[in-house]
Amino acid sequence: MVDLQPTPKQQQVRELIHQFAAHAVRPISLQADRDHKIPDEFLLRLAAMRGAMSSGEVPAEYGGEGGGLGASKDARGRSQQNRFTLLSAEEMAWGDGSVLLSLPGPGLGGPPIQFMGTPEQKKRFFSIFQDQEKLHYGAYGLTEPGAGSDVSAIATTCRKDGKTWVLNGRKCFITNGAKADWVVIFATVDRVLGRAGQRAFVVEKGTPGFSVGKIEEKMGLRASETAELVLDDVRLPEENLLGGEAHYAGKEGFMGAMKTFDSSRPVVGALAVGIARAAWEATRDFVRENYVLARPIPRYAQLATLLADGARMIDAARLLCWRAGWMADEGIPNAKEASMAKAYAAKMAMKVCADAVQVLGAHGLERSAFVEKWYRDIKVFDIFEGTAQIQRIVISKRILKDPPSF
């Protein structure tokens, strides 16, 4: 039976995170957007809560929190980490979506190491996050100028030279790429082989030939760092090939990349829900203060309908995300459901944010207004982690392969 009800402990921590978002995150949000940076001292304060709010948490056996604030298990002791991450992500995004993306930790680089890495690799690359005195980051290097949503088209090359691997290529739009201690880089031994030719490596900061290109100037989520990474004859020892060579007898490199998305796409959906909820609440409050919807005026009826539709869509998107998270916790394949959650939540949130700007008018377009920021922030949620078009391809392929029973 599907049980999406948060446990009392989870609800308690959810409320705690919401209060933190309201009283600590919101006050710095607009300035961080202008500065293109969240203060390091603020992020250090959040380091202790990293496990509770990051989809890339450090596993307990490698020095991590094992579920953050002790709220990632149900009454029977079964893991609910994915579900709890979704609850936390929504609340933090309600405060500012850039904050969650900027949290110290392995980030999107964590899942491929967890899914594909050897025990030695997991210990080696996760152990750095035991240091609570400094900010440490991991990153995920998949996107390229000519290969974003089409993962099979990556052009970064890798070739074996004795006991080392040599990587050449360029990655773009990498979250926390410039400040990451290590980055999981996907490359190909031969583009003709398609997915079967792909390999995943961990490239550490300071490796000769590995450098940061430009830091992107973005429309939204400006406080989150997004970088270009350059690999110019980067030489890596065999130990940096995730899983070892035997792991790549089939399409494991490609599947490792896809496995990450099964966990991260619902989180992206939850972030979109959090921003949409913030925009919807701002719209509701503005309407309360300026209109009496009980009066028989056509425009007022339209406003009431807009608010009702927004509430309905936010609730539907949240439930899609929760279902995908429940499946991940239960070990049930969830690629279709993860794509459904991400695709619907992003489109929903763009509409809710656009409606907020429409209703607030000039008040919503002021640079000092949160609504203007949320409107800029939300567009990327329809793009990163696979565009809406790619999500529909994923969904349709799985529906045709295994038709759903309703």
In sequence order, the 6+-apart residues with CB closer than 8 A to the CB of 163 are 237, 238
Q: Looking at residues 123-129, what average pLDDT do you find?
A: 93
Q: From residue 403, give the alpha-carbon distance in Å to each of 79, 389, 396, 399.
A: 29, 20, 9, 5
Q: From residue 132, give the alpha-carbon distance in Å to each of 45, 46, 108, 208.
A: 10, 10, 20, 27
Buried b (16+ CB within 10 A) or exposed e, 299-320: eeeebeebbeebeebbeebbeb
pLDDT in tens, 104-124: 989 889 888 988 899 999 999
pLDDT at 393: 86
Q: Residue 118 falls within a domain, yes or no?
A: no
How many angstroms separate the CA atoms of 237 and 203, rounded? 10
234 and 260, same domain (yes or no): no
63 and 148, same domain (yes or no): no
Q: What are the backbone angles phi and psi of residue 165, rounded to the nearest 5°? A: -110, 140
Which range scores top for mean pLDDT: 7-11, 273-277, 282-286?
Answer: 273-277
User: Contact, 80 vs 74, CB < 8 A?
Assistant: yes
Position 295 confidence tier, pLDDT thresholds 50, 70, 90: low
User: Contact, 14 vs 88, CB < 8 A?
Assistant: yes
pLDDT at 229: 97
309 and 374, same domain (yes or no): yes
* Beta strands at 182-188 and 138-141: parallel, antiparallel or unpaired: parallel
Res. 373: pLDDT tops 50: yes
Q: Which helix (H) or strand (E) holds 182?
A: strand 182-188
- Going by the DSSP 8-state scheme, the letter that residue 25 receives in this structure is I
Per the DSSP assignment, residues forming a β-bridge with 144 are 147
Q: Which amino acid is at 241?
A: L
Q: What is the pTM of this model?
A: 0.89
Position 59 confidence tier, pLDDT thresholds 50, 70, 90: low
pLDDT at 15: 94
Position 405 confidence tier, pLDDT thresholds 50, 70, 90: low
How many angstroms separate the CA atoms of 135 and 148, rounded? 28
220 and 342, same domain (yes or no): no
pLDDT at 3: 75
DSSP 120-161: HHHHHHHGGGG--SS--BEEEE--BTTBSS-GGG---EEEEE
385 counts as catalytic: yes
Res. 51: pLDDT tops 60: no
Q: Residue 1 falls within a domain, yes or no?
A: no
Q: Looking at residues 149-174, what average pLDDT do you find?
A: 91
- The last residue of a domain, from among 202, 232, 250: 250
272 and 397, same domain (yes or no): yes
Residue 40 CB neighbour total at 10 angstroms: 13
Higher pLDDT pick, 329 / 405: 329
**Using N-to-C axis directions, what is the helix angle for 335-360 and 298-329, rounded to 10°?**
150
172 and 241, same domain (yes or no): yes
How many angstroms separate the CA atoms of 388 and 251, rounded? 24
pLDDT at 247: 80
Q: Looking at residues 315-329, what average pLDDT do you find?
A: 95
How many angstroms separate the CA atoms of 376 and 353, rounded? 9
Q: Residue 130 falls within a domain, yes or no?
A: no
Number of domains in the chain: 3
Res. 67: pLDDT tops 50: no
pLDDT in tens, 244-261: 988 887 655 556 556 677
- The last residue of a domain, from among 191, 215, 250: 250
- Going by the DSSP 8-state scheme, the letter that residue 195 receives in this structure is G
Higher pLDDT pick, 184 / 10: 184
**Residue-averaged pLDDT of the chain:** 87
- Which of helix, strand or coil describes residue 117? coil
What is the domain-level CATH number for residue 286?
A: 1.20.140.10
359 and 317, same domain (yes or no): yes
217 and 263, same domain (yes or no): no
What is the domain-level CATH number for residue 67?
A: 1.10.540.10
Structural tokens at position 285? 């409050």
- The last residue of a domain, from among 201, 223, 250: 250
144 and 220, same domain (yes or no): yes
Range of 90's domain? 8-104
* Candidate list 57, 91, 144, 385, residue with the active-site label: 385
64 and 83, same domain (yes or no): yes
- Which of helix, strand or coil describes residue 345? helix
Res. 186: pLDDT tops 70: yes
Res. 73: pLDDT tops 70: no
Per the DSSP assignment, residues forming a β-bridge with 383 are none
Q: Looking at residues 23-52, what average pLDDT do you find?
A: 85
Q: Looking at residues 296-313, what average pLDDT do you find?
A: 87
Residue with tokens 């980490």: 81
273 and 392, same domain (yes or no): yes
pLDDT at 54: 45
pLDDT in tens, 202-229: 999 999 999 999 999 999 999 999 999 9
How many angstroms separate the CA atoms of 268 and 260, rounded? 12
How many angstroms separate the CA atoms of 327 and 333, rounded? 7
Q: Could you tell me how many residues make up the chain?
A: 406
What is the domain-level CATH number for residue 156?
A: 2.40.110.10
CA triple 191-139-158, angle to 5 deg? 25
384 and 281, same domain (yes or no): yes
Q: Residue 116 falls within a domain, yes or no?
A: no
Per the DSSP assignment, residues forming a β-bridge with 168 are 157
User: Contact, 346 vs 390, CB < 8 A?
Assistant: no
Residue by residue, what is the 3-state secondary structure of 48-79?
HHHHHHCCCCCCHHHCCCCCCCCCCECCCCCE
- Helix (H) and strand (E) counts in the chain: 14, 7
pLDDT at 170: 96
pLDDT at 374: 96
pLDDT at 250: 63
